[in-house]
Amino acid sequence: MINQFRNLNPINLLILFAYTFFLRMAIFAELPAQLNFEFLESYTKFFIQIPVQGFFSPAANVFFAGIIVYVQAVLFNRVINNHGLLNKPGFLPALMYVTGASLFMPFLVLSPTLICNFLLIWMMDKFLKIGKSPNAIMIMFDIGMIIALGTLIYFPFIVMLVMIWLTLLLYRSFDWREWVSGLVGFLTIFFFVGVFYYWNDSLSMFYKIWLPLGNKFPSVFKINYNDYLVLVPVLVMMVLAVLQLRENFFRSFISTRKAFQMLFFMFMVSIVSFYTKPDFRLYHFLLCVPPGAVLLAYYFSNAKKRWFYESLFLILVFAIQYFLFV
């Protein structure tokens, strides 16, 4: 499977489509009686009314979630190949994306984070262009607006603002206009949101939007470790990927090194942003899939022993299916 996806063979698109729904057999085999889908925050619904509650049957919900993951995987694959983050172009990024987006049952249904991943992939593309651009002001402005749109869908997406400044630290010498332009892009969207609240005499509600930013980061976590055993093979792959990246780190182009550092920060920001959502759910960690998938694809594109990397991938697929069914 891995060897097949190392190449840019068009037939891989069909295999990837079949693989996407193969990983969803468990939920199709035992569909819940009802699946609720809300992809806008309550403060957004105040001025945008989109009736999606109860619009999809459970089967349609899972089916369209699979289609979205497939489309995102193809777009994601294109971004990674265009920026040359792997040894050679192939479909490994798409394969890893689909695999990562199928790890847990909440990942298999429509969710706000699944929609936000379109924006995250778009942001990744723009971040990777910064090093090649003579002026990053407009790119940062666009990214700020993208983050604002994501925040209207899912509030923890606002923490991605930190990525603007982390990326500028990695790629650019200091220019205050570039540092400010991303924030201006973000505030441009929310300026119009605030005006709407003002027109409706609801400025107090607009103020409450930002209160979750003051939440304390939890010091105690209640974790059922049995639910996360599927991550064991993923962690093994991540460790091997880090070792492989370390071995090749100073042989790589500077732009590639900076890209992987940026993706690491994005992965960490995606994890810690859950604290802004008091009632966060497991699907929050779908935001970690794009940056994590690049690292996994990097390992499999560089791995040498075919029997080992193919076996490791099969173990991961088996673990995903086993824990989804059980």
The secondary structure of 113-145 as a DSSP string is: HHHHHHHHHHHHHHHHHGGG-S--HHHHHHHHH
Please state the domain count of the chain: 1
Query: Per the confidence metrics, is the pTM higher than 0.75?
Result: yes
The answer to whether position 177 is within a domain reads no
Query: pLDDT of 152-202, one tens digit each?
Result: 999 999 999 999 999 998 888 888 898 999 999 999 999 998 888 888 888
**Is there a domain that residue 61 lies in?**
yes
pLDDT (tens digit per residue) in 219-251 = 666 666 666 788 888 898 888 888 887 777 665
In this structure, is residue 145 part of a structural domain? no
Domain containing 271 equals: 2-129+225-325
The answer to whether position 213 is within a domain reads no
Within a domain: 202: no
Q: Is residue 189 part of a domain?
A: no
Diameter of the chain by CA atoms?
Answer: 66
Residue 80 lies in a domain: yes
In a domain, 55, yes or no: yes
Angle at 1 between CA 226 and CA 248, to 5 degrees: 85
Sequence-separated contacts (24+) of 186-195 with Cβ below 8 Å:
186/144, 186/145, 186/147, 186/148, 186/151, 186/161, 187/144, 187/148, 188/144, 188/145, 188/148, 189/145, 189/148, 189/149, 189/152, 190/148, 190/151, 193/43, 193/47, 193/152
Calpha distance 56→170 (Å, rounded): 43
Mean pLDDT lowest among 84-98, 154-168, 269-283, 308-322? 269-283
How far is Cα 261 from Cα 59, in angstroms, rounded to an integer? Answer: 39
Place of tokens 């003051």: 214
Torsion of CA 100, 268, 312, 223, to 10 degrees: -80
